[in-house]
Amino acid sequence: MIKLNNISHHIGKQQILHNITLSLPSAQVIALIGPNGAGKSTLFSVMARLQPLQSGQVSFAIDNEERDIVSCHARTLSKTVAMLGQDNQVQGRLRVHELLMFGRYPYHQGQPTTDDQQKVQEIIERFELAPLAERFLSTLSGGQRQRVLIAMIVCQDTPYLLLDEPLNNLDMYHAGRLMRELRELSHTQQKTVVIVLHDINQAAQFADTVVTMKEGQVMAVGQPAEVITQTTMKDLYNVDVTVLSHQGRPVIVDAV
């Protein structure tokens, strides 16, 4: 479980997050949705300790013990939380398999073992990256590069994954396949996957829990059918939508 207690954050004089208190259940896919500028990316950065915790508390359940990220050793944190941001700068002269091995660094500390190599190979196969494994990152398309970065995060093999708009640059096939893989990781390996999405139908189809944010505040938390409604979408995005139901999950069919 991830627990956020009274999280606030300022950038300069602007308050980005307003007293967020939230408990996110373990072993679920949790979709975080909301308009641009809602504070979703800032919240992720605070949760991953990429930005300082200015007020409040963030804790993760680690080995059945609740641990505060402020007091958590860096190596322990890197084995606990993996984050993919929106703007990821990586060395273009790395080959794909080398970048994936970098995801194993918290474990091998620069000296990869057979287990690390096996883990990388498993992820290459799982994410259909074998044709790209020897390619330099600089030769990849935007979508291919995004798939490789996500695979690197999965190679880190942490119980918590924070993915900020991972569907960027992905075509329909790879977006759907990624969401299915994340759901399987969550349900079969007990990983907690928190993912920022702008595709509301992807959130509706694959998430166990949906959290909505607006203007730095959490507005609603619940199952997709509870949260993704005409009223909620109007409140969040100021658009009129039609929401249908398919196999117990909401589907947005148009927006005005």
Write out pLDDT tens, residues 130-181.
999 999 999 999 999 999 999 999 999 999 999 999 999 999 999 999 999 9
Listed in sequence order, the residues at least 6 apart from 30 whose beta carbon sits closer than 8 Å to its beta carbon are 24, 192, 193, 194, 195, 207, 208, 209, 210, 211
pLDDT tens, position by position, 217-246: 999 999 999 999 999 999 999 999 999 999
187, two tokens: 């349900």
Query: How many structural domains compose the chain?
Result: 1
Domain presence at residue 20: yes
Which range of residues forms the domain containing residue 112?
A: 2-223
Q: Is the pLDDT of residue 24 over 80?
A: yes
Fill in the DSSP letter of residue 136. B
pLDDT recorded at residue 256: 60
Domain presence at residue 231: no
Residue 62's pLDDT band, with cuts at 50, 70 and 90, is confident
Domain presence at residue 70: yes
Residue 209, strand partner residues: 30
Q: Which of 255, 201, 192 is nearest to 228 (CA)?
A: 201
Domain presence at residue 239: no
Domain presence at residue 240: no
- CATH code at position 86: 3.40.50.300
Domain presence at residue 254: no
pLDDT recorded at residue 64: 78
Domain presence at residue 234: no
Domain presence at residue 143: yes
Helix (H) or strand (E) holding 193: strand 192-196
Whether the Cβ atoms of residue 236 and residue 219 lie closer than 8 Å to each other: yes
Greatest CA separation for the chain: 55
Compute the 3-state secondary structure of the chain and give helix, strand, coil in percent, each to the nearest 5: 35, 30, 30
Averaged pLDDT, 47-70:
88
Residue 255's pLDDT band, with cuts at 50, 70 and 90, is low
